[in-house]
Amino acid sequence: MRTALVRRTVLTASAVSLALLATACGGDKPDTKKDDKASAGATAPSTAPAAKGKTDAELTALLVTQAEAPGYLVQAEAAAKLGEVDKTTVSTDKPECKVLVQSQYLQKIGTPTGVARTALGAKPKEAGPNASPEEKAEAIKNAIGTTVTMVGLTSYDGKAAEELLASVKTAGQACAGGFTSTSEGETVKYASVQRGTGAPVTSGDDSASLVLTADLEDGDKATILLTVLRTGSTVATFSSLSLLGTAESPVTLVAAQSKKLG
């Protein structure tokens, strides 16, 4: 089941649109200095230019690289499969929770102007030349259980990036008691959704960090760490998972990607 959960996270997938949370647009206060004949309810037009999303090529250039993230190695096979994640249809028993699964899989949400994805794994600690058999076995176990983090950049026109992050935050609260998702004919039960317990993300314009706990067939549980960070019109999503069930927070990777986004 652990392997299946990781496989589904990087499986190919079909275009799915998610209705993002609509945010009320408050009008500007009327300019009382204008002609008295103007309607009291009239609003001054906004002079701020609408946010413009980036293209695939622009986002690809902004993706964090192995050289920029010491302690991580690009997972080429997993990264290659990420180009097909939008071919899988995802459904959830609670509609508001769907955005969490789509974010976990790095699927397109809404109508982005550009998308770029990669996958990196934390460098496993190698056994020393004089290591004992037990230490070598532990090193192998740690290598197998390396936390793999999928990184996705998605850009939007207008306020869609803000709306996406708002929907993730809303889902984090609405789905706290758990939910069920189905994709590729397989069902995963998420026992809970909690706020991330690691160091808070302080970069970017807004962010959300969540811990999704999934029930495994053998009675164990797996934790998926989900961090969503917005910088301007671009959303960076980090989905971390370990074959041993407990993922480690990719703090330095998030920092490196955030720095590159400016």
| pLDDT higher than 60, residue 1 | no
Say if 149 falls within a structural domain: yes
| pLDDT higher than 60, residue 167 | yes
Q: Which residues are bridge partners to 44 per DSSP?
A: none
* 197: confidence class by pLDDT, cuts 50, 70, 90: confident
pTM of structure: 0.78
Identify the helix (H) or strand (E) that includes residue 98. Answer: helix 98-105
Say if 28 falls within a structural domain: no
pLDDT above 70 as % of the chain = 73
CA distance to 135, 155, 182, 216, per residue, from 185 (Å)? 40, 30, 6, 16
Task: Determine the Cα angle at 164 with ends 160 and 170, to 5°.
Answer: 140
**In b/e form, how buried is each residue of 228-253, taking b as 16+ CB within 10 angstroms?**
bbbbbbbbbbbbbbbeebebebbeeb
CB-neighbour burial class of residue 197 (10 A; exposed 0-12, middle 13-18, buried 19+): exposed
Structural domain that includes position 209: 2-13+53-261
Of the segments 120-129, 194-203, 220-229, which one has the largest average pLDDT value? 220-229
Identify the helix (H) or strand (E) that includes residue 192. Answer: strand 186-195
* 156: confidence class by pLDDT, cuts 50, 70, 90: very high
Specify the higher pLDDT residue, 215 or 4: 215
Length of the chain: 262
Q: Which of 122, 138, 157 is nearest to 250 (CA)?
A: 122
Count of beta carbons in the 10 Å neighbourhood of residue 129: 5
Predicted confidence at residue 246, as pLDDT, reads 81
Predicted confidence at residue 203, as pLDDT, reads 83
Say if 30 falls within a structural domain: no
Say if 35 falls within a structural domain: no
Say if 163 falls within a structural domain: yes
For the stretch 145-154, pLDDT in tens is 689 999 999 9
The CATH number covering residue 116 comes to 3.40.1000
For the stretch 12-66, pLDDT in tens is 332 222 222 222 223 333 343 334 433 333 334 445 566 799 999 999 999 999 9
Say if 27 falls within a structural domain: no
| pLDDT higher than 50, residue 192 | yes
Predicted confidence at residue 124, as pLDDT, reads 73
- Cα separation, 84 vs 192, in Å, equals 28
For the stretch 100-111, pLDDT in tens is 999 999 999 999
Mean pLDDT (whole number) for 77-87: 93
Predicted confidence at residue 27, as pLDDT, reads 35
Query: What is the rounded average pLDDT for all residues in the chain?
Result: 81
Count of beta carbons in the 10 Å neighbourhood of residue 15: 10
Say if 201 falls within a structural domain: yes
On whether the CB atoms of residues 146 and 100 are closer than 8 A, the answer is: no
Specify the higher pLDDT residue, 137 or 88: 88
Predicted confidence at residue 216, as pLDDT, reads 84
Look at the chain and report how many structural domains it folds into.
Answer: 1
Say if 92 falls within a structural domain: yes
Helix (H, G, I), strand (E, B) or coil at 157: coil
